[in-house]
A and B are shown apart, each in its own frame.
Chain A
Amino acid sequence: MEQFFDLIRASVANSLNSLWYILPEFILAAGFVLMIIADVFWGKRYKNIAPILALIVLAFTLVFVLDQFVLISESPKDLFSGMIKLDRLSAWFKLLFNFSSVIIVLFSFRDFQLRNNEKGWGEYYALLIAINLGMHFMAMSGNLLMIYLSVEFVSVCSYIMAAFLTGSQRSEESGMKYALFGAVASAVMLYGMSLLYGFTGTLDVFNDTFFVGLASAGILSATVAVLMTLAGLAFKVSMFPMHAWVPDVYEGAPTPVTAFLSVAPKAAGFALLLRFIASLSTEFSVLSLENGIAVLAIITMTLGNFAALWQTNIKRLMAYSAIGQSGFLLMGIAAYSLTGQASILFYLFAYAIANLGVFLVIGYFSNTFHSEEIDDYKGMGMKYPVASACMVVFLVSLVGIPPTAGFLSKFFIFSATAESYVLGGNIMLLIMLVAAVINTVVSLFYYFKIPQHLYLRKAKTEIVLDKGNLLFLVIIIVMALLTLFLGVFPNELMGMMQL
């Protein structure tokens, strides 16, 4: 027993020293509790208390996340005996999560369905803060236990958010499908993790014994364990075999939730995937994940982009587009290098801005004429000129045409892939590059179906429609300007993201 005292004393001291570095997470946790209490006491009388509190909590978190860039400027920190890894990459991801959460709070604030929901929306905003907390830990975790806990944290909260509109059949259906699919994915991941733990004897994925243990376990059993663990992460990033939930959930969930799911938890999944792959690809690499990820990337992007061609519901179309975009991001992961890391971050930021923008326009339109069918968008370009013009900017960015951020992000990812093909000479990377170029051309067809309906078709009715919401319009314009700005001056952001 005596021998453990020193160990306990050391780990307590380590934990106490680490507390200062997770201040943003403390604020989020305290904010979550505060919002639940505030909703119980004042939720009925002051409807807007929940979104305002959420904005305050997110603002404080943003400030302290920015502060972390200074805190870790010299070296990345290992906190809580390696459970949490705080480095510049995770700080960037946290910035992305908070940015998209702020946009989603503003989005939900004026969303017709959420606002006129009979059970109130206090817990909706509280859940948004809770998901944000989970994603913070996802971006920082360096231990299998932490990975499992944070993935489950985010998943369980997202199920509730997807099924939040209890009056709507579609929302309920999407929530159930999401919950069942997600629970299976996380159970498979848990089993994979237990095998990894058995092979290596440690939960710390960055420990050297982890890799040595995995290499000595034999190629087949190690591959099975790694693939099972990847299943849970694939679910989060909607990678090929685990993408089946995406169309139904994205179509059925409330529009702000869809916008959120397509950006923030996906980015968190990519943060985890980056770390997990990085921990496996050390110098004595036995398992070549490069080829496997490359094949999955090709299948994911082809499937997403081709299935999107036949969609008539705009949210379903954007769901398949999100699968396709995941494929492009996976390409960056397969071609993982230092430029790969920065280009993945830039891609995620550009994608987040454009995708949130598209969903904001969808929300703006469905608030005014209550339809999400592309058919009903006919002729709306003339009636809502500003929103439609911004929609075109976002779609151009998603396709990857200059002068938008999307073009540069695609350019960076393609060139990172080409570079690692030249360095490594892996023919798989070249095939992936060709597939990505073909997919970009295919994506042009379905993305441009929307502007075609907006501008070139005659409107079905001539009734005068409501004016759109001003708050939405302001955010949409800001996002469009951001897209254009990043497309013209990417160097500032890209320079900061180089690690």
Chain B
Amino acid sequence: MLNGIPLEHFLYISTALFCCGLFAVLTRRNAVMVLIGIELMINAAILNFVSFGAFDKIKNGGQMFAIFGIVLAAAGVAVALAIILNVYKHFKTIDPSAIDEMKG
């Protein structure tokens, strides 16, 4: 129990978030939307870490991991957006399935 809310509820929400993210990654035909899906998946994992971390008061591993996770997610997205911007300049589209110079 965390402030009267059972742990399972946090896990339901994080599982739902993860599935939404995965759905967005698999179905969206826009690189930015795919990135948003990835962000949802990462946030689901962070929610998991924080809620499990409430039971690990001495080492606080979960809280620490959550902070690092947030920072790294931002770093990854920054790089991916820069690359997508460059792709848009050349291809005039950011649909990953439409960009296929290389095949085989």
Q: Is the CB of B80 within 8 A of A179?
A: yes
Q: How far is the CB of B44 from chain A (nearest CB, A)?
A: 6
Interface residues of B (CB under 8 A from A): 14, 18, 21, 25, 31, 34-35, 38, 41-42, 44-46, 48-49, 52-53, 55-56, 58-59, 61-62, 64-65, 68-69, 72, 75-77, 79-80, 83-84, 86-87, 90-91, 96, 99-102, 104
- Bound form: Cα–Cα A172–B82 in Å: 10
Q: How far is the CB of A371 from chain B (nearest CB, A)?
A: 15
Q: Is the CB of B72 within 8 A of A187?
A: no
B38: which of A155, A166, A184, A203 is its contact (CB, 8 Å)?
A: A184
Q: How far is the CB of B25 from chain A (nearest CB, A)?
A: 6
- Bound form: Cα–Cα A148–B48 in Å: 15
Interface on chain B toward A: helix, strand, loop, or mixed SS?
A: helix
Residue on A nearest B44 in the bound complex, by CB? A191
Q: Which of A33-41, A192-200, A487-495 faces chain B?
A: A192-200
- Bound form: Cα–Cα A183–B25 in Å: 10
A191: which of B18, B61, B68 is its contact (CB, 8 Å)?
A: B18
Q: Is the CB of A160 within 8 A of B79?
A: yes
Report the tally of A-B residue pairs with Cβ distances under 8 A: 132
Between A and B, 14 residue pairs with Cβ closer than 8 Å are: A145-B68, A163-B86, A180-B35, A180-B38, A183-B77, A184-B41, A187-B21, A187-B41, A190-B42, A193-B65, A197-B49, A197-B65, A203-B65, A248-B102
Range of interface residues on chain A?
35 or more
Residue on B nearest A199 in the bound complex, by CB? B52
Q: Is the CB of A179 within 8 A of B79?
A: yes
A279 at the interface (CB under 8 A from B): no
Residues of B within 8 A of A144 (CB): 65
- Bound form: Cα–Cα A159–B76 in Å: 9
**Given A149-B72, A159-B83, A169-B90: A176 and B96 interface contact (C-beta under 8 Å):** yes
A310: which of B18, B53, B99, B104 is its contact (CB, 8 Å)?
A: B104
Q: How far is the CB of B6 from chain A (nearest CB, A)?
A: 14
